[in-house]
Structure 1
């Protein structure tokens, strides 16, 4: 890895712990043992740094999906994906950062809008590949991945308002309906 890659990984760890909203270069640089000017030197701008952090976070999440053992059915795959979403701390942290970036992107702020669009395409491919490994046809997998992702994101956003049993029941209903 080069210096920029090292800084990207360290900045991603920082953002996963502290969030993206209100991210300031000086505290980030101090935590990384460098200066805000050096961060700009390596990334060109704060926006480019944020884009690199979002890409690294997405890559980390996808690695967890890529490492999942195939499920025996679509229903089992949905439930296994939900378990990964809700019980894997690294994936949870990446999902929280995704939600922050998506909210800012929804307002048209860059680099969030472009980064989230790119992340979504890669994420759907990773979930579709997992579904295919679990026996879903190549033709059906992308549509199922989109439906699962949209449902998971909706439940994920509502989870602070719902109890865990209610969230789980929604996912059980989805898994049953898709199988």
Structure 2
């Protein structure tokens, strides 16, 4: 009989939120439990007890980051009664992705996405793939005829363009230039 993990305790949830805030500013690449625990008012032993291992904590942090991304997708989905079109949704996505207050989350995403490519068996497993699937699903829902091969290719191209522009923005900080590139690509 399969066992399910009980709902997280209030303390586990609190520490996860603190660890998430910490990881948004410090990243995950060199995550060490001792400095993290000190920064969030805990101990390495408590973190290991609550999350099982460092990998368990990383998986929990990746899941927490995905919650923020999926919330955007839900918000966009709820705003329209009918598919608004790929261009409208792509512009809204760019505005959300490029907002200065989201830079820490976007840097976190880039780091986690990259790690999922080079360490596909570890705690990063499937992170990259799942985010691609999430975003493609949102873009698919915005298209009036999403089932065609042409529609699939178009949403894949839009996603690639948004992610490329995001990488460029994060590397250079040049919002004006990257936004112009997005607008030029999307056209009228």
- What TM-score do you get using the length of structure 2 for normalisation? 0.76
* SS of residue paired to 1:112: coil
CA RMSD of aligned residues (A): 2.6
Give the corresponding residue for 2:93.
Answer: 81
- Does residue 105 in structure 1 map to residue 113 in structure 2? no
Q: SS state of the match for residue 139, structure 1?
A: coil
Larger Rg: 2
More deviation, 20-29/4-13 = 4-13
**Residue 149 of structure 1: aligned partner:** 159
Asked whether the equivalents of residues 127 and 145 of structure 1 are also in contact (C-alpha less than 8 Å), the reply is yes
Q: What does residue range 33-112 of structure 1 map to in structure 2 within 5 Å?
A: 33-68=41-76, 69-70=79-80, 72-87=84-99, 89-90=101-102, 92-108=103-119, 110-112=122-124
Which stretches in structure 1 are left out of the alignment for 5+ residues?
none
Find 2:168's aligned residue among 135, 139, 158.
Answer: 158
Instruction: Report the CA distance between 1:99 and its aligned residue.
Output: 0.5
The alignment covers a number of residue pairs equal to 172
* SS at 2:29 equivalent: coil
8 Å contact kept, 2:16–2:60: yes
Alpha carbons of structure 1 residues 10 and 77: separation in structure 2 relative to 1, 3 Å: same
- Where do 5+ consecutive residues of structure 2 fail to align? 1-7
